[in-house]
Amino acid sequence: MSTKNVTETTPAEPNRRDILYIATGAAATVAAGGMVWPLISQMNPDASALALASTEVDLAPIPLGQIVTVKWRGKPVFIRHRTADEIKAAQDTPLTELPDPEADSKRAQKPEWLVVIGVCTHLGCIPTGKSGEFDGWFCPCHGSTYDVSGRIRSGPAPTNLEVPKYAFLSDKKIKIG
């Protein structure tokens, strides 16, 4: 029953031994991959973190002219109930004056509500509200100034404050994420 090794007469054509070795090697690769994948995947956000991926905010208690900060995915989100003057200032700013030109109407779904992620696009500090030259936000770390639309006006930050994905569930209720 023992088989003598076939001598390699035709190396171009894989013989039975080669096929066996290739199959075993391939299976070993699959085994290694199968064992490694859970070890990598476990570092992804877990189910409880994913469950908090979206949050609902009731806008009714926010008075006109105020900014509230809510936490979403571990980051602050600024919700600003803008006054008519602020809306006008934001909308009338010529795009040519902006380092990162973007119309206010593109940033606020409803003009009276501005929703932005409160993380400075420079190096991740949290800007303070209603301060700075444009009465928007001012980042204490390196002096970036944002306007009432959360757009960068001066300082080292390269882009406007990010607008998260959100939707109005009703007139006074939004869902972020």
Partner 1 sequence: MLDGLLMFRDQDSSMKRRLFVSCLSGAALLMSFLAAPALAESGHHEKRPEAHEWSFAGALGRFDRAQLRRGFKVYKEVCSTCHSVKLLAFRNLSQPGGPEFSEKEVVELAASYKVRDGPNDSGEYFERPARPSDRVPPPFANEQAARAAMSGAYPPDMSVLVKARGYGRGFPTFLFDAIPGFSYQEHGVDYVASLLKGYSEPPHDMKIPDGQYYNAYMAGNRIGMPPPLSDGAVTYDDGAPQTVDQYARDVTAFMMWVAEPHLEARKRIGLGVISFLIVFAGLLYFTKRKIWSNVAH
Partner 2 sequence: MDGHSQYTPKSGFARWLERRLPIVSFMYDSFVAYPTPKNLNYMWTFGAILSFMLVAQIVTGIVLAMHYTGETTLAFNSVESIMRDVNWGWALRYAHANGASMFFLAVYIHMARGMYYGSYKEPREVLWILGVVIFMVMIATGFLGYVLPWGQMSFWAATVITNLFSAFPVVGGPIREWLIGGYSVDNPTLNRFFALHYLLPFIIVAVVALHVWALHVTGQNNPTGVEVKDVKKETVPFTPFATMKDGFAIGVFLVIYAWMTFFVPNYLGHPDNYIEANPLVTPPHIVPEWYFLPFYAILRAIPNKLLGVIAMFLSILIMAALPWLDKSPVKSGSYRPLFRKFYWVFIAVSIALGYLGAQPAEGVYLWLARIASLYYFLHFVVILPLLTKYEKPEPVPESIDASVAAGSVTHA
Binding site for partner 1 (CB under 8 A): 2-5, 17, 20-21, 23-24, 27-28, 30-31, 34, 47-48, 51-52, 56
Query: Residue 47: CB partners within 8 Å, gap ≥ 6?
Result: none
Kindly report the three-state secondary structure assignment for every residue of 119-159.
Answer: CCCCCCCCCEECCCCCCCEECCCCCCEECCCCCEEECCCCC
Among 2, 3, 48, 96, binds partner 2 (CB under 8 A): 48
Active site residue 122: no
- Beta carbon nearer to partner 1, 15 or 154: 15
Q: Which does 3 bind (CB under 5 to 8 A by kind): partner 2, partner 1, none?
A: partner 1
Residue keyed to tokens 């001598």: 7
Q: Which residues are catalytic, by number?
A: 142
Q: Which residues contribute to the site for partner 2 (CB under 8 A)?
A: 28, 37-39, 41-44, 46-49
